[in-house]
Chain A
């Protein structure tokens, strides 16, 4: 399994090479890769159908307790087969669809990476591995949806998909982590039997909400459904793949995977039932509002996702049977129909159903596939879709509670689905041929009609002879979800059951909807529905995103406005508020004790330093200021000298002298320091500065009251001679104990010196040698 996943990623890496070698055959060649993986998984089917499971684990990040582990049971096998099987057809189809697109190689890289991520997702056993693949599908689908990146619509759609699914992924991570903490294991396969533990745990609700946030965003449940119809801005093969077998099913897969752990509670049934049911009903009718083939299909995808979610919520044998059956049904017809829509678009130049008609002669093979898949979508016997619908009704009828409500919602949604299926699958091909095509319609190349046809034939075969898969694949998948084995038997003919009655009602209404579609599509009610649920959520989202960006821009403008005086003011103020506040609340402040004697000259020196600082602040003359500065500096040097630091005193004296010289050299070329801010600003800044100063005084006097830990100093003093043969401890620290610090310091000095050197040697654009007018002119030309 590891090699299956890695193999697809390897294929992704190699695909540009294949495209370069043969653009024509790239789709066929690359299609062999998922086909091979499909065959590999298909060969696992007999063993899995007998109830076996396969687990494979490769050490990956042992320090995080995260092996690269995979788990194959009926559920993951079903999805793995869908991912690779439909993936094969999509890869072939894309070869035809994008044959003349110059970025075909890049497309295959993205598509195969996405396929690999999806395969990894359904197979993953470790929750971190699952999460990584989950996010990887979000990322790669972002690239795929935004494949036509030169168009704004694509970029907006891609961003929408990324933000929604990526954001949900983060919530999911939280949920999975909590789940791992509650169960004490990071492997899904070990969690499956711990349902009771999890459900009685106080974290259950939090886990449930977070997991649902991940699943609902990924699977486009209301109110997050808006990203999915927008995502059709991507190339058609992408839509076909994302909608039928992958991406959007990831959320459903997640819910199915965790249903033994989280499912069966009232909150599970209620949430999934209501959200799924509402999404289903809303999007089914919304599909009838649009005329774009892909958009109709997109909304029916949302509808099916709602249905699957609802069935998972209902739970129990019948519902899960219906769920796995419908998963296959939907994957088959939706993949086919999307490819068909792409072919029609490709060959006629339009996807607008109202402009399409009478293509039966021009595109016979495409029509065959489209009709088969479209009728399956409509649930017409003997196609597989009929069985799927019947099973749904059965599940609704046998549900423990709200059975009639579920049935009603299902019937109403399916009525719309019948109408939509006929509109999409039939309408473009029958009736009068309409003009207004930008291109002369002709049959698509074989790579492009093969996919719909294969899927259509499969839909027919499974419908007529469901024994092909019901006992093996579907039953194994059901076992994987329910964690208990039931006989699963599907048949076209169930006898005169209530479900059949419901189907007949559905057909009658559905055909009526199809007949009246154009009227319905234009009606005011549909327009209102389209506005309320089709456009508003997306717009609210965009608005929110815009608002967020504007908010952060506002914050940035407020706090990073390029006025560094304001930065300093903000820093000093927050220093007072935070440190001062912390000090006031936390520290035991007392009046400091005054110990020791102070000689009069020491006190005088301190006074002199303070005085010099005051003069430096208040003076309007620059030379007075630097003179005051020097007085203060020499004063500090004297303090060093008085308190046993001759090294410091000497250094300070020397530096103070050099500073004075440098200041004088430069300052005479600069304007003075006259002029002050308004009195208000002065008072404000003065208050802040004095507050900071007082704060430091308090901090220092508090610290002084605490005894000093002198161990480091004593070590240095004790070992200075014995270890480093030096009598001057300070110097020994500098050149020996902390030599590497000094080395860094002299390096910094060198850099500073070179910086000054370079700055002074930069080309001269000195203004004071020129007349002001010249200067202004030069500035203008320079600008």
Chain B
């Protein structure tokens, strides 16, 4: 089953990377969400999959015995899920604010903090500042 999950993860990551590279920032956000799911699934699968019991100690016992699902990746993923929601909300609002200010959700046009365009590097007349 891990093998299938590996393929699923690969497909999700490919989809996510492709969307991240799109011009449209909304597609970027969608890619970000898929990325979160893909990575969580990846961690989950790397902790090995068990169809057996969840990692809950039965009442009356003190230790977990027999086959149980690996609790460590679960704890990692649990926080990661919530954090990625925070990330998503923030990114989404950022995209929205940017749209409100600049009327665009094309990433190539969002260059407010960048130099106007490719710097003119080969200008012979330009001297180095002393």
Residue numbers of A with Cβ under 8 A of B are 152, 155-156, 159, 545-546, 549-550, 553-554, 557, 561-565, 568-569, 572, 592, 594, 596, 598, 602-603, 606, 609-610, 613-614, 616-617, 622, 625-626, 629, 632-633, 636, 639-640, 642-648, 651-652, 655, 658-659, 662-663, 666-667, 669-673, 675-677, 685-686, 688-690, 692-697, 700-701, 703-704, 708, 710, 712-713, 716-718, 720-722, 727-730, 733-734, 738, 741-742, 745, 748-749, 752-753, 755-756, 759-760, 762, 764-768, 775
State whether B71 touches A643 (Cβ < 8 A): no
Report the bound CA distance from A712 to B11 in whole Å.
30
A sample of 26 cross-chain residue pairs with beta-carbon separation below 8 angstroms, ordered by A number, consists of: A557-B119, A562-B113, A563-B108, A610-B7, A617-B15, A645-B77, A647-B74, A651-B78, A659-B88, A663-B92, A669-B99, A673-B30, A677-B22, A692-B17, A693-B11, A696-B10, A697-B7, A703-B46, A704-B3, A716-B71, A721-B57, A730-B74, A742-B79, A752-B90, A764-B100, A765-B100
Given A545-B128, A713-B70, residue A644 in contact with residue B75 (CB < 8 A): no
Measured CA separation A159–B54 after assembly (Å):
67
Measured CA separation A742–B78 after assembly (Å): 10
B18→A686 contact, CB < 8 A: yes
Known: A557-B121, A645-B54, A697-B10. A155 touches B63 (CB 8 A): no
| Residue-wise interface mask of B (66-86) relative to A, using a CB-CB cutoff of 8 A (1 in contact, 0 not) | 001111101101110111111
> In chain B between 12 and 57, which residues have their CB closer than 8 angstroms to a CB of chain A?
12-24, 26-27, 29-30, 33-34, 37, 40-42, 44-57
Apart from A673-B26, A730-B55, list 20 A-B contacts with CB within 8 A: A549-B128, A564-B107, A592-B3, A606-B4, A606-B8, A616-B30, A645-B77, A648-B74, A648-B77, A659-B88, A713-B72, A717-B64, A717-B71, A748-B86, A755-B93, A756-B90, A759-B97, A760-B93, A762-B97, A768-B100
Nearest CB of chain A from residue B18's CB, rounded to whole Å: 4
Q: Are A752 and B89 in contact (CB under 8 A)?
A: yes
Q: Of B54, B63, B121, which one neighbours A646 at CB under 8 angstroms?
A: B54
The answer on a CB contact under 8 Å between A598 and B1 is yes
Chain A min CB distance to B109 (Å): 10
Q: Chain A residues with Cβ under 8 A from B86's Cβ? A: 748-749, 752-753
Q: How far is A669 from B97 in the complex, measured between Cα atoms in Å? A: 11
Contact A642 B96 (CB under 8 A): no
Query: Across the interface, do A708 and B47 meet the contact criterion of CB distance under 8 Å?
Result: yes
The answer on a CB contact under 8 Å between A632 and B12 is yes
Q: Are B44 and A738 interface neighbours, CB within 8 A?
A: no
**When A553-B121, A662-B92, A756-B90 are in contact, do A749 and B82 touch as well, CB less than 8 Å?**
yes
Complex CA gap A362/B15 in Å reads: 88
Contact A710 B70 (CB under 8 A): yes
Residues of A within 8 A of B103 (CB): 767, 775
Per the bound structure, the CA–CA distance linking A704 and B9 in Å amounts to 13
Q: Are A598 and B79 in contact (CB under 8 A)?
A: no
Cβ A708 vs Cβ B130 within 8 A? no
Q: Is the CB of A716 within 8 A of B72?
A: yes
List residues of chain B with CB within 8 A of the CB of A549: 128
Q: Which A residues touch B45, using CB under 8 A? A: 700, 704
B1–A616 touching, CB < 8 Å: no
B118 at interface, CB cutoff 8 A: yes
Give min CB distance, B101 to chain A, whole Å. 6
For A611, the closest partner residue in chain B by CB is B11
Shortest beta-carbon distance from A388 to chain B in Å: 38
User: Chain B contacts of A655 at CB under 8 A?
Assistant: 81-82, 84-85
The smallest C-beta distance from B88 to any residue of chain A, in angstroms, reads 6
**A764: chain B residues within 8 A (beta carbon):** 100
Question: From A717, which residue of chain B is reached at the shortest CB distance?
Answer: B64
Per the bound structure, the CA–CA distance linking A101 and B64 in Å amounts to: 82
Residue among A658, A670, A721 making CB contact with B96, cutoff 8 Å: A670
CB distance from B12 to the nearest CB of A (A): 5
Contact (A616, B15) CB under 8 Å given A602-B1, A704-B3, A730-B71: yes
Residues of A within 8 A of B23 (CB): 565, 675, 677
* Secondary structure of the B contact surface, majority rule: helix
Contacts known (A713-B71, A756-B89); A606 close to B56, Cβ less than 8 A: no
Q: How many residues of B contact A (CB 8 A)?
A: 98
Q: Verify A670–B10 contact, CB threshold 8 A.
A: no
- CB neighbours (8 Å) of A710 from chain B are 70
Q: Which residues on B sit within 8 Å (CB–CB) of A609?
A: 8, 11-12
- Give the 10 A-B CB pairs with smallest separation, nearest first: A693-B14, A644-B69, A562-B114, A697-B10, A752-B86, A689-B18, A700-B6, A733-B75, A613-B15, A155-B130
Task: Using known A-B contacts A629-B30, A728-B56, determine if residue A616 contacts B19 with beta carbons closer than 8 Å.
Answer: yes
Chain B residues positioned under 8 Å from A677 (CB to CB): 22-23
User: A596 vs B45: C-alpha distance in the bound complex, in angstroms?
Assistant: 14
Do A662 and B17 touch (CB < 8 A)? no
Contacts of A562 in B (CB 8 A): 111, 113-115
Contacting residue for A569 out of B21, B41, B119, B128, CB 8 A: B21
Which B residues are CB-close (under 8 A) to A722?
62-63
Bound: A671/B106 CA distance, A? 10
Instruction: Select one of A565, A640, A689, A721 contacting B44, CB under 8 A.
Output: A640
Complex contacts, A693 vs chain B, CB 8 Å: 10-15, 17
Given contacts A673-B26, A729-B57, is CB(A689)–CB(B21) below 8 Å?
yes
B105 close to A606 (CB less than 8 A): no
Q: Among the listed B63, B68, B78, which residue makes an inter-chain contact with A647, where contact means beta carbons less than 8 Å apart?
A: B78
Q: Which residue of A lies closest to B25 (CB)?
A: A670
Whether A596 lies near B1 (C-beta < 8 A) is yes
> What separation, in Å, do the CA atoms of A673 and B26 have in the docked complex?
7
Query: Whole-angstrom distance between the alpha carbons of A703 and B42 in the complex?
Result: 11
Distance to closest chain A CB from B44 (angstroms): 7
**Do residues A632 and B75 form an inter-chain contact, with CB atoms below 8 A?**
no
Q: Is the CB of A617 within 8 A of B82?
A: no
Given A662-B92, A675-B24, A685-B21: A648 and B81 within 8 A (CB)?
Answer: yes
Inter-chain contact B34/A565, CB cutoff 8 Å = no
Find out whether the CB atom of A629 lies under 8 angstroms from the CB atom of B34: yes
For A745, the closest partner residue in chain B by CB is B79
Complex interface: chain A residues within 8 A of B122 (CB): 550
Question: Cβ of B37 and Cβ of A636 under 8 Å apart?
Answer: yes
Nearest CB in chain A to that of B24: its residue: A673
B4 x A602 contact (CB < 8 A)? yes
Min Cβ gap B74→A in Å is 5
Residue of A nearest to B128 (CB): A546
A630 CB, min distance to chain B CBs, angstroms: 10
- The listed residue with most B CB atoms (<10 A of its CB), out of A561, A572, A666, A693, is A693
A628: nearest chain-B partner, CB-CB: B30
A671 → chain B closest CB, angstroms: 6
Q: Are B59 and A642 closer than 8 Å at their CB atoms?
A: no
- Nearest-CB residue, chain A, relative to B97: A759
Alpha-carbon separation in the docked complex, A673 to B64 (Å) = 50
CB-based contact B94/A759 at 8 Å: yes
Chain B residue numbers with a CB within 8 Å of A647 are 54, 74, 78
Which residues of the other chain, A, contact B101 by a CB distance below 8 angstroms? 765, 767
State A745–B7 Cα separation when bound (angstroms): 30
How many angstroms from the CA of A642 to the CA of B49 in the assembled complex?
9
Q: Which residues of B contact A557 (CB under 8 A)?
A: 118-119, 121
User: How far is A662 from B26 in the complex, measured between Cα atoms in Å?
Assistant: 13
Docked CA distance A98–B75 (Å): 71
Q: How far is the CB of A675 from chain B (nearest CB, A)?
A: 7
Q: How far is the CA of A733 from the CA of B84 in the complex (A)?
A: 20
Residues B12 and A670 in contact, CB atoms below 8 Å apart: no
Q: Which of B3, B12, B51, B55 has the most CB of A within 10 A?
A: B55
A546 to B19, CA, bound (A): 41
Closest-by-CB residue of B relative to A159 is: B130
Residues on the B chain within 8 Å of A685, using CB = 18, 21-22
Residues of B within 8 A of A749 (CB): 82-83, 86
Q: Is there an interface contact between B3 and A594, defined as CB atoms closer than 8 Å?
A: yes
User: A693 to B19, alpha carbons, bound, how many Å?
Assistant: 13
| A246 CA / B116 CA spacing, docked (Å) | 49
Residues of A contacting B7 with CB < 8 Å? 606, 610, 697
